[in-house]
A and B are shown apart, each in its own frame.
Chain A
Amino acid sequence: MNFDVIIIGAGVVGGMAARELSRYDLSVCLLEKENDVATGASRANSGIVHGGYDPEPGTLKAKLNTVGVEMLYEAAQQLHVPCLHNGSMVCAFGEKEDPAVKELYERGQINNIPGLKILTGDEARAIEPNLSTAITSALHVTNAGIICPYDLTIAAVGNAMDNGVALKRNFAVSAIEKNGSGYTVTSAKGETVTGKYVLNCAGGYSDKIAAMVGDDHFTIIPRAGEYILLDKTEGSRVSHTIFQVPSEEGKGILVSPTVDGNLLTGPTALKVETPESRDTTPAGLEQVQRLAAKSVPSVNFRQVITSFTGVRSSEKGGDFIIEESKKAPGFVHVAAIDSPGLTCCVAIARYAVDLLNKAGLILTEKANWNGNRANPHAFREMTDDEKNAYIQENPDFGKIVCRCETVSEGEIRNAIRQNPGAWDIDGVKRRTRGGMGRCQGGFCGPYVMALIAEELGIPMETVTKSGGDSYMLTGRIGE
């Protein structure tokens, strides 16, 4: 089939672009090299809705951040993605750092960010009593928030699919050729897809994709950030997201509640070889703990649930690169989307669609577009009486599979059946939180594997953790 638009990369930007394009009378295909969406930078990052005080005035980042915050909140609501308007604080430790808070405040004024306020250390501690006594001033950012990045991506892709977008997974782009009316995109396995226009949203690989059409003017620098996630018992240490002003040790480590009620600390910033470099390191985890304790000394790191590494795609220019290729007409790059990329994802998507439009893509709004998505977490949010009534009709929802996060069989089956369905264990985890709690899938792992096998009609032995060679079992006993 010849699509109007091909999107390469189902991260939060690709997913949001797919959703934006699904508003129009177009055929759209979203290509993803992995077994699921949101497996790159959108899988593991801080999940922050940034206020917009930070980007250099005049940059694309500043422009899109300022307009992007409200767009994101609106999209999150339509997509039923939990999003918390909790505000943030950027803290200074001592006289030497106080001017940095003032500088961020002033930059925020230039960027036209509402609701910024400079607090003294005591004022900050009056709002967040667990903050360190070493904090001397803080920038209070009231429009900031938190959101789950993969939840948002899954929802965006799902809503796009509900509105007719095709998702092709395990399609690793290996070649792109110009054909008469557009481009032929070939996968490593030799499958081809053709499209009149292409959006390159390939994250850590966006430079490689660009090079396939002759663009070599930017190079992605993958930077790893290590995080430590703590149990819900630590989730209320702070209610705001607590940042540190940049210092010699880097941009600082944040301490933040998550939308699920856990506490997140991190990230480090380490240049790594490839976007797949997701190792955690002793030095990194030590740094996260030490610097998190600098802001909030009472964080109890004995309550660690897991540690992980996310990889951001930076570029030496420091700004987003969103442009039509000069060598390949109708081919638009959306690259170097590092922080505040999540905050800007809707604004970026609209900006990119606008570029496609300027390149000739005709946008005719569909009459029946539905930007609202059914709430996949509806059951979780019900009262006991509502659950009781629901279980009478749907008994699978009565069977709890993940006891740590109280996730039922019905919710897991739904996650496998929904748009885009979970095809592996990590996919179930990201959609339902099943296996994400204290025991980390110790009890529910085998049950989840059996449900995946049954729903997808595949043998147990072929169930994977995250697609590809991530097999869980090596065979049947005695065979």
Chain B
Amino acid sequence: MTKTVLTGVLGAAVLALGASTASAATLDDVKAKGFVQCGVSQGLPGFSNPDADGEWSGMDVDLCRGIAAAIFGDATAVKFTPLSAKERFTALQSGEVDVLSRNTTWTMSRDTQLGLNFAGVNYYDGQGFMIRTDMNINSALELSGASICTNTGTTTELNVADYFRANNMEYELVAFEKADEVVAAYDAGRCDVYTTDQSGLYAQRLKLTDPGAHKVLPEIISKEPLGPVVRQGDDQWFNIIKWVHNATLNAEELGVTMDNVEEMKESDNPAIRRLLGTEGEFGTDIGLDNDWAAKAIAAIGNYGEIFDRNVGPDTELAIGRGVNALWSQGGLQYAPPIR
């Protein structure tokens, strides 16, 4: 008697679970719930960072807003889940977030072993060094014997080891758990060099007692292409993320901005007409409206605008375009055409 009842309860429980697991394509799920669930960092200035009112801003955040705008025509139809570096892939794999836009470095192992796909590169980063100006050092190759401050448990530690070994130099590592502690230690003179991703160096410089007395060395010792990540096995969703990013790049190349996107729809340039959906059926192929890109650009602007607004020279971070300039201006940002 008890046994049958128990089996019945278990059966009911399993049925209840089973009903909710039948998952459709991500786009259908997203449309059904009415918003995009976007995994972001717990706070990285310029990429994904909440302000005093809890409003998120940054390049990674803007990409998610662009995706929401392309799907719903509403850039606010997005919810952000702050994720630690350790949890981020699990959160994506388990379906807790629809897209991970969290300054994640595209590496082969992550791309091939985790069941994930990288949909593009929205920021080319690389590890750099910051030193005191009065040390009179102009190249990372002169750093032999230096003590180096960095975070524990990240690839920066390994990159330093690789770089110094490859160049036959001695070094002493001073590692801390938190970015604050690293900056404080470097500022207090406990080490000669501070190393992390270059975008991070610019952000942390604001916390130094005398920012003018420090400079960033020109060498970049690692490749850190950062981009959005999706689950493998849903090509439609993968394409949507990939092409929202590509649309912002194409828009910058074609001179389409947040402000002129409406008038550009009437442009004679066929590339612009295809981008903004005045010509062709490119939106329907990925399950969206034909003016998907126009909606995204109207919400977040083109890549140049996104860059300038979040990390560009007029922000506190003051990072130059560098390798993140368009290919036509000597950078690496290059998007396939829409045709």
Answer whether A and B are interacting partners.
no
Give me the interface of B with A, judged by CB distance under 8 Å: none
